Structure formats: structure tokens, C-alpha cells
Structure 1
Amino acid sequence: MSATETLVATGNKGHSHGAGSEVPLQTRSERVASYDVADFAVPHGREEEWRFTPVKLLKGLFADEPGTESVKVDVQAPAGVTVETVAADAVLAGKPQDRAAVVAWAHAEKAVAVRVPADAELTEAVHVNVAGLGGRGYSHLIVDAGRHSRATVIIDHSGAGEFGGNVEIVVGDGAELRVVSIQSGDSESIHLAQHDAKVGRDAKLNHVVVTLGGKLVRVSTNVMYAGPGGDAELLGVYFPETGQHHEHRLFVDHEATNCKSNVLYKGALAGESARSVWIGDVLIRAAAEGTDTFELNRNLVLTDGARADSVPNLEIETGEIEGAGHASATGRFDDEQLFYLQARGIPEDEARRLVVSGFFNDIIGRIGVPEVIERLHEVIEQKLARAATLSAEASAGAGQR
């Protein structure tokens, strides 16, 4: 496997990998964040934050105008959880940070708030189903976990059309919250979303993004800490196929002392023009002494014609930390693993499926809801079967030539 080139920044200067050349660096925290649509120009694709994204497909979600439909949101929650419709500014976990996010903020009619009371320990997950009906619609969801609570929230995005959404997550002091966001729209759907999380003192957030459907999906996740001792684990799985673009962007802003973050995203790609983009930004501010952070992205390219871009970035403003690191790798199957399985009588196609299933399982297995885990594994198996067919067809075509 080959690692991608990465950027490590300290203070307000960056370095390029050319000999003796220094370039000015705009830190991730200096980008515009605002509730006003006018503060964001319509992207043309040359901006740093949009240069990987096929912006030509997003004219509707960049337009400052109401949607053509109301997104259907259905919440199933155990006793004690409050579900209510509130104003969009009822909770302010983070400001919109790009044009699509601020348009969605401005044109979502109301926000749906899911509130877990303080000290509650939920034994069943909260299920939030968000469905597009074929037009262009917007959604705003708030997940608020009270202090010392324990809960899991599954957000299941499905359907068709163009979707713009914001998810705000508040983890109260001492609380433990798992939020799983699943993107499984149809083959022509477009999904743009910003997730903002505020992690309280000695609180823990487990945030999982699973993208298995949609023509163009872009999820931006931003995490900040409201007090010392916070812990954020950010996990992701994605599997674009022919003609699909799956993009995931993360920004972890360490501004409190003695906080942790661990980022692990894994992707597989199969089919002509299948594309994945992963951008991981971590900022350790001068006041964030005792920080411990690591981010890792791994990609498996299963067929010719697929492409994965992976860019981890780390900015450090203090040396008084426990640890900080990042890595990314993109490659094809491990031939030794395949040989080991085939040597034990397992056919090549089945061996490939086992390798990829194992590759994803350490993330999907952490979701903690058996029926959701089973469903996701079934979708991945279907994708692997299609990838095997593509590989067989390519091999047959090469043999004929």
C-alpha cells in the first residue's frame, strides 16, 4: 500500500515538500462560519474545501431558495426521551461552515429535537428515519444528551432527490452518546450534510458515519470540546460503486485540556469512476495541553477505474500534549491474505469477500445494535458480489484481447 502525502502545520506557517519552499497556510479554524447565506459565495470548484467535489451537480442545494418538498422525518424513541419540533437556533453546537450547510440551515422549516434526559440510561436505541421523496428538501436535527446519560441514536437517511441537512449534537457533562448516521439513498440521490458536535466535560461521543448509497454524498463532521476530559471517537465506512462520489470531511477542534480524539475511516471502491474523498483536519490549540489524538484512513480499491483521495492534516500550537499522529493508506488486496485463504480451500471470490468484510467489521461491529449491523453487512455483501462480477468481466475482456 502507498501512503498519501500529508501536511503537518505548526503555528501559522506551513511547509511544502519541495526543497526550501515555504507557503502561507490558512488554518482550518480560519475558514468562514456563519448563519448568513450571503457570507458564502456559490462554489465554483476551485476553493480548497470544494476542489474534490463535483459542484456542477449541486446548483439546487447552493441556491438560496426554499426546497421543493418537505423531508419526511420519523422518530421512534423509548420512554423518557423527548421528541419535539423547535426553532432552528434552539441549540447552537456549531455554525454552518460552507454554502450548502448555511442554505440548509436557512430553509429547513423547523428543527426536530431528540432529547435524552439527564442520568437516563437507555437500553434501546432511538431510531430517526429521514426520507427524501424525490424533490429538493432540507432537514435540521438536534440530538441533546443530558448530563450523565447513556444513549444510542441511529439516523437512517434514505429515499431519492436532493437533500441538505444539519445535525447538531450536544453531549452533556459525563454523558456517553453514540450517534450512527447511515446514508443509503437511491442511485441518483444527492446528500449534503454538516454534523456539529459539542462534547462536554468528561463526556464521550462515539460518532459513526456509514455511506452505502447515493450518487453524491458529502458529510462534514465538526467536533469541539466544551470542557476538559472529553473523548470523541469518529468512525466511518463508505463503499462507492460505478459513478458514485462519497466524500467525508472531519474537523476536530481541540481547545480544552486533557481531551482525546480518535478517527478511523475505511472505504472500499468498485467500478468505473467510483470516487471517495476523505479529509481529516485536527487542530490542537495553544490552550489544549494534554491532548491525545490520532486519525487514520484506509482504502481498498477493488477494480480498475476507481479512485480514492485521502488527506490527513494536523495543526499543533502547543508541545504539551500526550500524543498526536495521522496516517492514510490506499491500495489493493493483500495478496498474502488471499493466498492464505485460498490455500485452505476457499475460492478466490469468497476469499475476497471475507477480506473486505473483515476490513469493515471492526467499525460496523461497534454500532452495538444487532439488527442494524446485520442490515449493513447484507448491503456490503451485495456490493461485493457486484464488484466480483465487474472483476470477472474485466478479466474476461483482458483475456480476449
Structure 2
Amino acid sequence: MSSVTQAPATIPGAKGHTDGAGAFVPVQTRDERLRSYDPSDFDAPTGREVNWKHTPIDKLAALFVDEAGPHGVIEVDVHAPDGLVQQRLTAGTAPRGEVFQPDDLASAIAWKQETEAPLLRIPAGAEFAEPIVVNLKGTGGLAHAHVVIEAEANAHATVVLRHAGAAIHAQNVEIIVRDGAHLTVVSVQNWDDESVHAASHQARVARDATLRHVVVSFGGGVVRVNPSVELAGTGSRAELYGLSYSDAGQHLESQVYLHHKGTDTTGDVLYKGALQGAGARSVWIGDVLIGPDAVGTDSYEANRNLVLTDGARAESIPNLEIQTGDIRGAGHASATGRFDDEQLFYLQARGIEEAEARRLVVLGFLAEIVQKIGVPSLEAELFAAIEDELAREVAR
């Protein structure tokens, strides 16, 4: 697999840039970032780079070393309907690498260290009523992974990736949605407190196809799941949703990239987070690029955060770049705040005690994302997890 590199342009007399650039023009848009299958093409992050400046990189240091971890750190258990095709793909074996190009050091190392990537293929025309559930349980230590999910033409399916246990995990997820297919991918992070998880999800959506991608992060010390979706085909659609609940000392992060490339594409991005406890932190960066040929685009991205206690902090950065004037609509929004006093007053005025009123407000705030998943058993489990988080707040 050949490397893809980009050489920065130098400027005589230029000085260092706060985004980590030296004497050259810093990367201005998400689409300009270096991509390569070779880890040696990437420098180790310093924390000044635009894509690392909000991340506690010292806690991810093990993921920046190009060395193989021990085997069997992640126990894998797949529950799937009949008809699912499962294979192992070496580098250079299609469709591995058809869509995915590592765009940071951790993802390049994961690509190299995963010698045989598992493929989950939903055959053309298949409609799976039950979800494909992949249980991934960490048993401690360093682990690299590259997973390929392919929905062939006109296939319909849901894939749930469930992460638990303990691990220091670099993970690539390559998602291919062929013409007319409808695919939902849900990634649930419920790691033990000491775990570190850095994941790069990259997807391409073809003509008249739809991808619903949901990131749910509750457990883990540092969890960084970055979805990147290219709407390549005419009439393609992406629904990118996220839910996080950050406790004391947790860092939960998502950097979302949606590239409208084909004509008449539609994008809907909505991430919501709740935070409680000293040092609880969430980071959301949303980049939407509407390319020069993406006429007829309709796109909107939003991030909402609810800060429940002192000492918690949410960072939210929406970005929108439009390279054509012939679109149906585009916009972005971001809001971070505490409880709405009027909502609490309204509920308490009707005889609801404050603790119960706060519970109802948080559940109502996060329910919008939970209900978009479309897997009733998982939705019920997530509501229970939110209730558990709220109970911890009351117990403080």
C-alpha cells in the first residue's frame, strides 16, 4: 500500500505557529491533513497540533510507539444473523484500504500492526432485522485493530460495536456503504476507568445510500472517537449522532468530519454531552466541508452540552466550509450551559422535588440521541446507564 503525503509550503522568515506548524503554512482545513499508511510519515504529537491540542496526549503516549502489543488483549465475540460474511483481510486485499487512509500517527500504527483485519460484509439486498453485535472486551494491555464493515448494494443492517474491560486501544473502523444501502453503525464505549481508546472511523457513502453513525461514550479514562464520512454519491445521506456522559477525571472526545462531495447530499450532525465532577471534560470538534461539486447540499451540525457540577468543562468547536454557492442549506450551532432555571422552576412548581426535576431535565436532554439508535434493547440499557450516572451525582 503506497503512502499519501502532503508537503507543506514554506514561507521565508516564518516563525512557529500555535497549531504546531513550524516555518510553513499551517493546515487550514480538515481535508488538507496528511494521510499515509506509513507511521514514519507522521511526527509524534506534541499537543500543539490543531488535531491534538485539546487531547491529553501524555495519556496516549503508548499509542504513538510503532511496536506490536501482545496478542489476545481484546476478546472478540460476534453475534450475527445468518448471512453475514466474515473474512480476514491482509493489507492490499480489497476492500481493505478502499476508503480508509490513516490521518494521524495512532491510526497509521494500528493499520500497520493489524496484519489481518476482520471484515463484516452484509450481502447485496440482504435485510437483517436483528443487529450484528460485536462485543470487544479488553483484558489489559496495548491493542491495535482495523475493522472493515461493508454494506453491499441495497443491503440494510445495524452493526453495534461494544467496548468494555481494560485496554490501551488504537482502533480503525473502515465503513463502506454501497449504492442504495442503509447502514447503522453504533460504537459504545463503556471501558473501565483506566482504559484509553483512540479510534478513527472513516466511511464512504455511495449513490442513494444512507449511513447512520452513533458514538456513545460513558466509560474510560480517555476516549477519543473521530468519525470521518464522505458523501460521495448523488443523493447520499449521513446522520452522525453522539452521546457522552463525562465523570470526574474523564476525557471524552469526538472530532467529526463530514465531507459533502456528491450532488444532492444530506447531512445531519448532532452530538450531546453531560458532564459532572471535578476534572470532567468533553471535547467536540465538528468540521463540515461542502465541496465545489456538491450542488444541492443540505447540511446542519450542532453540539449541545449540559454541565451539571462545578469543575467540569466542555469544549465545542463547529466549523463549516462551503466551496459552492448552489446549495439548499447549511448551518452549525453550539451551546454549553447549566440547568435551565426556568425548567426546574416549572417542574418544582408542580410539586416535583428538585432532585427528581434535575433527573427529568437530564433524561429529556439526552433522550433525543438515545432514541435515534433504533435498537430497543440498547436504548433501554443506555437509559439505565444515564440513571446510574445521575444516581452517582446525587450520592456526592
Q: CA deviation at 1:25?
A: 6.4
**Pick aligned residue for 2:81 from 58, 62, 78:** 78
Aligned residues: 368
Q: CA deviation at 1:75?
A: 1.1
Q: CA deviation at 1:376?
A: 1.0
1:194 and 1:214 mapped to 2: Cα distance? 17
Q: Which residue of 2 aligns with 1:63?
A: 65
List per-residue Cα deviations over 1:78-122 (Å, max 9, x = no partner).
011112222244322220111111111111232111111111111
Q: CA deviation at 1:24?
A: 7.7
2:197 and 2:184 mapped to 1: Cα distance? 22
1:133 and 1:40 mapped to 2: Cα distance? 29
Q: Which residue of 1 aligns with 2:154?
A: 148
List per-residue Cα deviations over 1:192-222 (Å, max 9, x = no partner).
0000111010001110000010000001110
Unaligned runs of 5+ in 2: 1-24
Q: Which residue of 1 aligns with 2:336?
A: 330
Q: CA deviation at 1:374?
A: 1.1
The alignment partner of 1:188 has SS state of: coil
The alignment partner of 1:375 has SS state of: helix
1:366 and 1:298 mapped to 2: Cα distance? 16
Contact 1:72/1:131 (8 A) holds in 2: yes
Contact 2:231/2:238 (8 A) holds in 1: no
Q: Which residue of 2 aligns with 1:11?
A: none
The alignment partner of 1:186 has SS state of: coil
2:124 and 2:131 mapped to 1: Cα distance? 16
Q: CA deviation at 1:371?
A: 1.2
1:351 is the counterpart of 2:354: no
List per-residue Cα deviations over 1:225-275 (Å, max 9, x = no partner).
231110000000001100000000011111111111110000000000000
2:373 and 2:34 mapped to 1: Cα distance? 33
Q: More deviation in 299-308 or 336-345? A: 336-345
**Pick aligned residue for 2:346 from 319, 340, 343:** 340
**Pick aligned residue for 1:44 from 25, 43, 46:** 46
List per-residue Cα deviations over 1:315-372 (Å, max 9, x = no partner).
1111111111000000000111111111222111111111111111111112111111
Q: Which residue of 1 aligns with 2:30?
A: 28
Q: Which residue of 2 aligns with 1:301?
A: 307
Q: Which residue of 2 aligns with 1:131?
A: 137
**Pick aligned residue for 1:369 from 375, 378, 382:** 375
After TM superposition, the structure 1 = structure 2 runs for residues 94-109 of structure 1, keeping only pairs within 5 Å, are 94-109=100-115
Q: Which residue of 2 aligns with 1:389?
A: 395
Q: Which amino acid aligns with 1:329?
A: A
The alignment partner of 2:300 has SS state of: strand
Bigger RCO (CA 8 Å, 6+ sep): 1
Q: Scaled by the length of structure 1, what TM-score is found? A: 0.90
**Pick aligned residue for 2:197 from 191, 196, 202:** 191
1:210 and 1:264 mapped to 2: Cα distance? 12
2:295 and 2:321 mapped to 1: Cα distance? 14
1:230 is the counterpart of 2:236: yes
After TM superposition, the structure 1 = structure 2 runs for residues 112-123 of structure 1, keeping only pairs within 5 Å, are 112-123=118-129
Aligned residues: CA RMSD: 1.3
Q: Scaled by the length of structure 2, what TM-score is found? A: 0.91
The alignment partner of 1:155 has SS state of: strand
Q: Which amino acid aligns with 2:254?
A: H
Contact 1:69/1:133 (8 A) holds in 2: no
After TM superposition, the structure 1 = structure 2 runs for residues 216-255 of structure 1, keeping only pairs within 5 Å, are 216-255=222-261
Q: Which residue of 2 aligns with 1:18?
A: none
Q: CA deviation at 1:164?
A: 0.6
Q: CA deviation at 1:389?
A: 2.9
